Amino acid sequence: MARLLFFTPVSPAPTGQGTAIRAGIALEVLSEEFEVTVVLAGHWSGKPSLQESAWIRTHADACHFVPVPPPMGAAQQLVSQHLSQSRIDGAYVFRLAAAPLALQVVSLLQTPGMFSILDLDDDECTRTEKFIQLREKIGDLATASRERADLERQRKVQRMLLSRFDLCFLAAPEDRDSLAARYPDRRFACLPNVVRIPGNVVRIPGAAPSFSSGGEPDGQSPFALTARRQSRPASLLFLGKLDYLPNEDAVLFFCRSILPLLRTALPDVTIRVAGIDPTQSIRQLSLLPGVTIVGAVADVAPEYERARIMVAPLRAGSGTRIKILEAFSFGLPVVSTTVGAAGLGVVHGVHLLIADTPDEFAAACLRLLEDESLAATLARNAYRWLRETHSLDTVRAILHGIFPAS
């Protein structure tokens, strides 16, 4: 069996933050055909917890942690102590942050013909440009100025690193096409974000539970509506890493500009905001009527189960939103901005509702809360679309056999 190195700045995981989920999916699928050694360059998540380490080791031959900044000779030590005993056939590098260490290690291995893949996830330079625009919009001009001054350096680093890899993956077709146009001598491909289908019960708002093997819809009408109205409270959900600028802005935008409009029409509407690292600005939102800041949760399933609607009111970002896919997998209808749904290829009125202004977004949420048939139809369509285009089999079809040595 071919042996791969898997470099990542975040602990791969089956759930949680979107980047951890994407890394986890790639590791899980690659480990089905290759012996994988994980090198965790702890840029973002630090040393993995016991739970994270245990999950990684179920899919990897070994896992080595390299602190950041790496100590002198870290790459040489990693190679001499752990990687020199057998041939390494390829390298899978997750995100640009892990690329410098990965390139040092690969150069030290001196393996002729080693195939290397860089999973960019998104176009970081374009993302930075969008962040700068958002910071300017919300009045954070000092930070915007600093980031704009650093953007040219970031572009140079990106250009240099891209030239060192045989293939680069992007989650969104738009990012793939944009980078391919800017770097026509490089090879780019789309590796979509996907999610696992949870359990074997599909829950659709306003519908009787549908039981099947492995989450497959059963029979001709898997989501047949019941006659009863929804009995759950009108609870909305936002879930994401809460110190990530687009997520922070989205939560502030929703709670300050959209929720008051909703509660005027339907006073019992509430929102739960779940995710790690809530900022002080987000914590202060708990003083507003109808807002609960949950913070970090050990298991996201109960949050999806108790909600009536998932909201994604993002005004900046790049790549594709894994949390929208995850909501689809739990049978939860979604209201998103155009930015939030970008890159997914979903259709307004078929898979979800898309709205951009506060009035439009509030009206879309109200529509789903009052029309259980529409909510169930969107959830059913989204679930089926997810299984067809964003399941683990989608990633398997791309990654299995991608390395020439396999």
Same fold for the pair 3-194+392-399 and 201-389? yes
Q: Is 70 left (phi over 0), alpha (psi -120 to 50) or beta?
A: beta
C-beta neighbour count of 119 within 10 angstroms: 24
User: Which residues, other chains included, contact 38 with Cβ-Cβ below 8 Å and sequence gap of 6+?
Assistant: 6, 8, 12, 27, 56, 60, 62, 63, 64
Alpha helices (H) in 58-208, listed in sequence order: 74-78, 99-109, 124-138, 141-162, 173-182
Domain edges within the chain: 3-194+392-399, 201-389
Q: What's the pLDDT at 401? A: 79
As a whole number of Å, the end-to-end CA separation of the chain is 7
Q: What's the pLDDT at 210? A: 39
Q: What's the pLDDT at 226? A: 29
Q: What's the pLDDT at 213? A: 31
Give the strand pairing for 270-274 and 235-239.
parallel
Q: Which of 257, 375, 271, 390 is CA-nearest to residue 324?
A: 390
Q: What's the pLDDT at 231? A: 57
The answer to whether the peptide bond before residue 69 is cis (omega within 30 degrees of 0) is yes
How many residues would you count in the chain? 406
Q: What share of the chain is helix, strand, coil (3-state, %, to 5)?
A: 45, 15, 40
**Residue 113 CB-density burial (10 A; 0-12 exposed, 13-18 middle, 19+ buried):** exposed
Q: What's the pLDDT at 46? A: 67
3-state secondary structure at position 272: strand
CATH number of 3-194+392-399: 3.40.50.2000
Per-residue pLDDT of the chain (406 residues; tens, 9 = 90+): 789 999 999 999 887 788 889 999 999 999 999 999 999 987 666 677 778 888 999 999 999 999 878 888 889 999 999 988 778 889 999 999 999 999 999 999 988 778 999 999 999 888 888 889 888 988 889 999 999 999 989 999 999 999 999 999 999 999 999 999 999 999 999 999 998 887 533 344 444 333 333 344 433 333 433 233 355 789 999 999 899 899 999 999 999 999 999 999 999 999 999 999 999 999 999 999 999 999 999 888 999 999 999 999 999 876 668 899 999 999 999 999 999 998 898 999 999 999 999 999 999 999 999 999 999 999 999 999 999 999 899 999 999 978 765 4
Candidates 3.40.190.10, 3.40.50.2000, 3.30.40.10, 3.90.1640.10; CATH matching 201-389 = 3.40.50.2000
Alpha helices (H) in 296-389, listed in sequence order: 301-306, 322-329, 358-370, 372-389
Can you give the pTM of this predicted structure? Answer: 0.82
C-beta neighbour count of 47 within 10 angstroms: 11
